[in-house]
Amino acid sequence: MKSVKTQANFLLKVLLFLFVTGCGHQQADNAEQVRKPNILIIYVDDLGYADVGAYGAVGVSTPNVDRLADRGMKFTDGHCSAATCTPSRYSLLTGSYAFRNNAAILAGDAPLIIGENTRTLGDMLKEAGYRTGVVGKWHLGLGDGSVDWNEAITPGPLERGFDYSFLIPATGDRVPCVYVENHHVVGLDRNDPITVSYKKPVNDEPTGMSHPEMLKQLADKQHSNTIVDSISRIGYMTGGKAALWKDEEFPDVLTAKARQFMAENKDNPFFLFFSFHDIHVPRMPNKRFVGQSAMGPRGDAIVQMDWVTGQLVETLEQLGLAENTLIIFTSDNGPVLNDGYEDEAVELLGAHVPAGPFRGSKYSAYEAGTRVPTIACWPEMITPGESNALVSQIDLFASLARLTGVKLAGSDAPDSHDMLETWLGRSDSGREYLIEEALTLSLRHREWKYIRSAPSVRDWTKYKGVESGVSEVAQLFNLHEDIAEQNNLAGEKEDRVMQMDAILEAMIAAKGTRPGYGQEY
Ligand code: NG6
Ligand code: CA
């Protein structure tokens, strides 16, 4: 039981906060009266629903993430917007469904896919007076189509709403394997320029294909191009030897950059998008974490991720910012075991079930593709609890706009709904409709899940052990009765299928679905 004093304090804060955030046009002026919270999005890569203790992990323990869940709102129906990385990140940062921009997994030399006239979460929070930074995996493309890694790399995050960036440009398994800080590759020797190609080898150095004996982990064909740090990657690169990263240093390098950003901005409200490489392949945890789980590299990468999460929270505590920082902890897509490297993720899984009670995985149209751990922790303002409301990362844009007193205009965040009350645990009502993007589109409507039929399944899903969820017939599930999507009701509920398909079509055809902009869904 909370003491009367704590309850009174809490009530006072809530009243003050409601006054600040809920008074329409008065917002901007009044917002000055209360210090805006710092906002830290902790974005894990490929983390499944039950890959952390708070959501049922058994093969690994995650005390730091669990502590966030204990102290915050834990959502059981929280979603990234797509079952792969680039589209989810695109939606998180733009509040727009990724299909509107054909956003799909990008090569490491792809141009920036966020257009010049698209306002990002960073832009919006800058307008609210925030200092904005992104540290970690980007995977939204860089440059304008002919990126030269030896010159200023632009446009990138700095041209899209961020004051600071320190990036793994694409993924850990894609070249170029160098960090990019603001506009430049870190530690580049001008006499050893970088060349990157996704089409053909750029030198005659060994590849994973030609020299598997040089590798720490064997890889499939797609991941068997240039070898960097004894790991073969997707794509070819040469040069930049002094700048090449070491995978095992990711946790320390990224944590240090995040710490520095937070410390430098401790007197401003700041927004930090901390974007993990963990637990994506190649899973190369630092030796401090090797053997810390029962599941080999995939589990050890989860332990590493948990440690970094703890470091971020500890930094906030040391800076005296922990109470007034809103932390959103979540993932960019569901779990996958075999994603191209032989790291025994399948063999050492034991009783651990990465997707929890849900069917599918990363890439899949079934729930596990997008239903991911989702925690909102803000000690000053959120009362700890659990919520079953349907929430999506796509709504963070509009929700944080209201939180910080920014009015969305015109085509900003076209699919983002203001769900602030739900994110803060003050309302139980979730999204009425939500599109889930995978190899096909699905529509959630309360307990209903409709998966649109699509013609073909890609071959790679088979060898990865991924259930794509794509079928040549429509699928309809009642998630209240059938959480594991086993019983396709499409045949017996044709009316509902037609209705949901029509709504999905209308949502696709609309220029947006945000209330006040486009067709409201
Ligand atoms: C795929 C890679 C996979 C991973 C993924 C991106 C295959 C055969 N290969 O092309 O290993 O890199 O892209 O993952 O699937 S994501 O989390 O960034 O979307
Ligand atoms: Ca991912």
Given a cut of 50, whether residue 4 has pLDDT beyond it is: no
Domain of residue 464 covers 436-520
> Whose C-alpha lies nearest to ligand 1, atom 18?
85
Residue with CA nearest ligand 1 atom 2: 339
**Number of independent structural domains in the chain:** 1
Query: Which ligand 1 atom is at minimum distance from the Cα of 139?
Result: 18
How confident is residue 520, by pLDDT bands cut at 50, 70 and 90?
confident
Q: Report which secondary-structure segment, H or E, holds 34.
A: none
**507 CB within 6 A, ligand 1:** no
Beta strands in 289-409 (DSSP E): 325-331, 374-377, 385-392
Q: How confident is the model at residue 9 (pLDDT cuts 50, 70, 90)?
A: low
**Residues 174 and 166 sit within 8 Å (Cβ to Cβ):** no
Using the predicted structure, report yes or no on whether residue 55 has a pLDDT greater than 50.
yes
Q: Which bin fits 510, alpha (ψ -120 to 50), beta or left (φ > 0)? A: beta
Count of CB atoms situated within 10 Å of the CB of 200: 7
Which residue from 137, 173, 224, 337 has its CB within 8 A of the most atoms of ligand 1, so it is best to mutate? 173
- Ligand closest to 221 (CA) is 1
Residue nearest to atom 10 of ligand 1 (CA): 105
Structure confidence at residue 12 (pLDDT): 52
Residue 479 domain flag: yes
Mean pLDDT for the stretch of residues 466-488: 96
Mean pLDDT of 351-369: 98
**Any ligand 1 atom below 6 A from CB of 281:** yes
pLDDT-derived band of residue 16, with 50, 70 and 90 as boundaries?
low
Rg (CA), the chain: 22
CB of 82 sitting under 6 A from ligand 1: no
Whether the CB of 280 sits within 6 Å of ligand 1: yes
Q: What is the pLDDT of residue 34?
A: 61
The average pLDDT across 344-361 equals 98
pLDDT of residue 365: 97
Q: Which is more confident, 250 or 12?
A: 250
Q: Would you say residue 219 has pLDDT above 80? A: yes
Residue with CA closest to ligand 1 atom 4: 339
Share of the chain above pLDDT 90, in %: 89
pLDDT of residue 170: 98
Does residue 444 line the site of ligand 1, with CB under 6 A? no
Q: What whole-number distance in Å separates Cα of residue 217 and Cα of residue 514?
A: 46
Give the residue, out of 44, 84, 337, with the most ligand 1 atoms within 8 A of its beta carbon, to mutate for a pocket test: 84
Indicate which residue's Cα is closest to atom 19 of ligand 1.
85
DSSP result, 489-506? -TTT-HHHHHHHHHHHHH
Ligand 1 centroid distance, CA of 103 (Å): 14
Q: Alpha carbon of 1 to those of 4, 6, 7, 8, 74: distances in Å? A: 9, 10, 10, 13, 20
Tens digit of each residue's pLDDT (9 = 90 or more) over 160-174: 999 999 999 999 999
Q: Is ligand 1 within 6 A of the CB of residue 452?
A: no
What per-residue confidence (pLDDT) applies to 461? 79
Is there an atom of ligand 1 within 6 Å of 105 CB? yes
Residue 489 lies in a domain: yes
Check if 475 has its Cβ closer than 6 Å to any atom of ligand 1. no
Q: Which ligand is nearest to the CA of 224?
A: 1
Q: Whose CA is nearest to atom 5 of ligand 1?
A: 105
User: Is the distance from the beta carbon of residue 219 to the nearest atom of ligand 1 less than 6 Å?
Assistant: no
Residue 449 maps to a domain:
yes
Say yes or no to pLDDT of 393 above 50.
Answer: yes
Q: How many CB atoms lie within 10 A of CB 190?
A: 6
List 275's β-bridge partners, or say none. Answer: 43, 136
* pLDDT interval class at 475 (50, 70, 90): very high
Mutation probe of ligand 1 site: the residue of 85, 225, 332, 362 with most atoms within 8 A of C-beta: 85
Task: Give domain status of residue 471, yes or no.
Answer: yes
Cα separation, 142 vs 156, in Å, equals 5
Average pLDDT, the chain: 93
Tokens of 507: 């949502």
What average pLDDT does range 364-384 have in this prediction? 98
The reported pLDDT for the residue numbered 27 is: 42
Atom of ligand 1 at shortest range from CA of 85: 19
Higher pLDDT, 102 or 18: 102
Q: Which residue among 171, 277, 333, 466 is best mutated to probe the pocket of ligand 1, counting the most ligand atoms within 8 A of its Cβ?
A: 171
- Please tell me if the CB atom of residue 85 comes closer than 6 angstroms to any atom of ligand 1: yes
Q: Which CATH number is 490's domain given?
A: 3.30.1120.10
Q: pLDDT band for position 6 (50/70/90)?
A: very low
Q: Which token pair is 31? A: 């917002």
Least confident of 226-230, 319-323, 457-461: 457-461
Residue nearest to atom 3 of ligand 1 (CA): 339
Q: What is the pLDDT of residue 519?
A: 85
Q: Which of 390, 372, 385 lies closest to 479, judged by CA?
A: 390
**500 CA from centroid of ligand 2 (Å):** 28
pLDDT at 462: 77
Do 309 and 68 meet the contact criterion of CB atoms below 8 Å apart? yes
SS (H, E, C) 202-271: CCCCCECCCCHHHCCCCECHHHCCEEECCEECECEEECCHHHECCHHHHHHHHHHHHHHHHHHCCCCCEE
Per-residue pLDDT, averaged over 92-113, amounts to 97
pLDDT digits (tens, 9 = 90+) for 279-320: 999 999 999 999 999 999 999 999 999 999 999 999 999 999
Asked whether residue 46 carries a pLDDT value surpassing 50, the answer given is yes
What's the CA-to-centroid distance between 105 and ligand 2, angstroms?
Answer: 9
Ligand whose nearest atom lies closest to the CA of 232: 1
Which ligand has its closest atom nearest to the C-alpha of 334? 2
Centre of ligand 1 to C-alpha 283, Å, is 13
Summarize pLDDT for 425-455 with one digit per residue, the tens: 999 999 999 999 999 999 999 999 999 999 8
- H-helix segments, 361-492: 396-404, 420-423, 460-463
Contact 128, 406 (CB under 8 A): yes
The alpha carbon of 234 and the centre of ligand 1 are apart by a number of angstroms equal to 9
Task: Give yes or no for a contact between 278 and 65, defined as CB atoms under 8 angstroms apart.
Answer: no
Q: Which of 339, 363, 459, 460 to mutate to test the pocket of ligand 1 (most atoms within 8 A of CB)?
A: 339
- CA dist., res. 474 & res. 470, Å (int): 9
Greater model confidence, 40 or 466: 40
pLDDT of residue 24: 38
Token look-up 């040391």 returns 318
- Per-residue pLDDT band for 136 (boundaries 50, 70, 90) equals very high
Does ligand 1 have an atom closer than 6 angstroms to the CB of 173? Answer: yes
Is 296 part of any domain? Answer: no
Rounded distance from Cα 339 to ligand 1 centre (Å): 7
Q: Is residue 196 part of a domain?
A: no
Say what percent of the chain tops pLDDT 70: 93
Q: Does 513 map to a domain?
A: yes
The reported pTM is 0.94
Pick the residue whose CA is nearest to atom 13 on ligand 1: 105
